[in-house]
Amino acid sequence: MDIHSHQFIAFFEPEQAAQLAAKAIVETYPDLVVIFEEGEVPDYLYLVLEGKVLFRKHTINDHYQIVAQANPDDFFGEFGILDGKPRSAQAMVCEGATLARIPRNVLIEILNNTKGSTVLHLFNFIIQRLRVTTQEFVQQVTYKDKMVLLGEMVNTIIHDFKSPLSSIHLSSGMLREMYLEDEDTTEWCDLIQEQAVRMTAMAEELLEFSKGSASLKKQPMDLAAALRRFEKLNRIYLDQENVAFTLHCPESIMVEADENKLMRVLQNLIVNAVEALDGDGGEITMTAQPLPNWVRITIQDNGPGIPLEIRDSFFEAFVTYGKKRGTGLGTAIAKSIIDTHQGQIRFETQEGEGTTFIIQLPLQTS
Ligand SMILES: Nc1ncnc2c1ncn2[C@@H]1O[C@H](COP(=O)(O)OP(=O)(O)O)[C@@H](O)[C@H]1O
Ligand SMILES: [Mg+2]
């Protein structure tokens, strides 16, 4: 977008707006460039013209938690400019961004010469935005608490479920053995066993989800080797489902990851893609590509695309669509695993064309 139509500039009278636009320094930044670090002394206000900026706060062990993001027409860094206090989070470019930065002294001078009503208008806007952010934060915190509680409940229920389930499995197996010559009985027993296995799998999926990140075991992992193992394990399944699978991964990409969990993510996404392709003979391509500090893994299918109805709530638990037996947990588990690896996951989808999942994981640092 053009700087003159940015909402921040539009707050000012034409003369000041022109001054601000003239003094602003417009620059395009590549992916993952850090605009400022947490704790830095603020010197500029930034207007987002294109792309996206993520705000991350340092947590423990060199890990970061994403706390907010800014999109075109948003601005950021105003608090530090107004009160001079250090930056409260790191700002990092995501997907490349064009920003206009306005030096602190220029802005303060123009603000000093601006009508009170304009300043008030601007303040109102900033306060409004602060309220929304605070509300979102509070919602996130209470949601997390609720999920922890739900997780504990699910945990106990599922544990209690598992032993009667295995009894059902065992007894139907014995019945089957006793009446081997009776076709009806063996058929019914097979059905019972099949369903018991399915319920156990579902219970395990729920358990996995409720456990969340508690059991993450990160280790240095050779990505190409892991992806080849993954392909091998899925070869028969993919052939049976009539899906052509291609893997592109350069050698010697090292990531710090819990291999089992990461395989779980890929498995969930591949199964979804296969289910979406529905035996029509589709294609799935998995690609890994190293970036400066990250590796990007994409999983692309040429299926029907993700239904519009669930695109906004896609990664939430229990969101399922168009499946008789969906649990709606596959992608929620995938997201929680990627999040605990300090990575990112998102998708691009087009109706009738297909879907691509894009995962970014931090590269091993040492
Ligand atoms: N690659 C894909 N193409 C089209 N739709 C998809 C794809 N992956 C997931 N979906 C949709 O997203 C929903 C949620 O997936 P998921 O969280 O794994 O739950 P489940 O598979 O149990 O329904 C699926 O029900 C399906 O409608
Ligand atoms: Mg699924």
pLDDT in tens, 275-323: 999 987 799 999 999 998 899 999 999 999 999 999 989 998 888 898 8
For a pocket test of ligand 1, which of 331, 337, 350 has the largest count of ligand atoms closer than 8 A to its C-beta? 331
Examine the domain organization and report whether 192 and 265 are in the same domain: no
Examine the domain organization and report whether 150 and 259 are in the same domain: no
In a domain, 225, yes or no: yes
Residue 66 one-letter amino acid: I
Please tell me what DSSP assigns to residue 53: E
In a domain, 154, yes or no: yes
Examine the domain organization and report whether 102 and 44 are in the same domain: yes
Examine the domain organization and report whether 105 and 203 are in the same domain: no
Rounded distance from Cα 272 to ligand 1 centre (Å):
5
Examine the domain organization and report whether 175 and 302 are in the same domain: no
Show which of 114, 132, 165 is a domain's final residue.
114
In a domain, 157, yes or no: yes
Reference 234, options 294, 299, 321; nearest CA is 299
| Average pLDDT over the chain, rounded to an integer | 88
In a domain, 269, yes or no: yes
To the question of pTM greater than 0.75 for the whole model, the response is no
The tokens of 48 are what?
């987002």
pLDDT grade for 357, boundaries at 50, 70 and 90:
very high
For residue 123, the model assigns a pLDDT of 85
Write out the residue range of the structural domain in which residue 68 sits: 3-114
Ligand 1 interacting residues, C-beta cut-off 6 A:
268, 272-273, 276, 301, 303-307, 310, 319-323, 326-332, 355
Tell me which residue has its CA closest to atom 12 in ligand 1: 320
Nearest ligand to the C-alpha atom of residue 282: 1
Rounded distance from Cα 25 to ligand 2 centre (Å):
46
Tell me which residue has its CA closest to atom 9 in ligand 1: 272
The tokens of 352 are what?
């009738």
Examine the domain organization and report whether 224 and 335 are in the same domain: yes
In a domain, 135, yes or no: no
In a domain, 30, yes or no: yes
**Secondary structure E strands in the chain:** 25-29, 34-36, 44-58, 64-70, 75-76, 90-103, 219-222, 244-248, 254-257, 283-290, 294-301, 344-350, 354-362
Nearest ligand to the C-alpha atom of residue 321: 1
Say what angle helices 330-340 and 259-277 make with each other, to 10 degrees: 150
Rounded distance from Cα 148 to ligand 1 centre (Å):
24
Task: Name the domain count of the chain.
Answer: 3
In a domain, 245, yes or no: yes
Atom of ligand 1 nearest to the CA of 332: 17
CATH of the domain at 197: 1.10.287
d(CA 87, CA 217) in angstroms, rounded, equals: 33
Tell me which residue has its CA closest to atom 5 in ligand 1: 306
What is the tens place of the pLDDT at every residue in 82-128? 888 888 889 999 878 999 999 999 998 998 888 888 888 888 888 88
Reference 175, options 161, 192, 163, 162; nearest CA is 192
For residue 28, the model assigns a pLDDT of 95
Rounded distance from Cα 171 to ligand 1 centre (Å):
34
Examine the domain organization and report whether 315 and 345 are in the same domain: yes
Residue 38 one-letter amino acid: E
Examine the domain organization and report whether 29 and 147 are in the same domain: no
What is the tens place of the pLDDT at every residue in 252-261? 899 999 998 8
Rounded distance from Cα 320 to ligand 1 centre (Å):
6
What is the tens place of the pLDDT at every residue in 323-355? 877 878 889 989 988 988 989 999 999 999 999
What is the tens place of the pLDDT at every residue in 172-219? 999 999 999 999 999 999 989 888 887 887 777 777 777 665 567 889
Examine the domain organization and report whether 231 and 347 are in the same domain: yes
Examine the domain organization and report whether 253 and 300 are in the same domain: yes
Per the CB < 8 A criterion, the answer to whether 305 and 178 are in contact is no
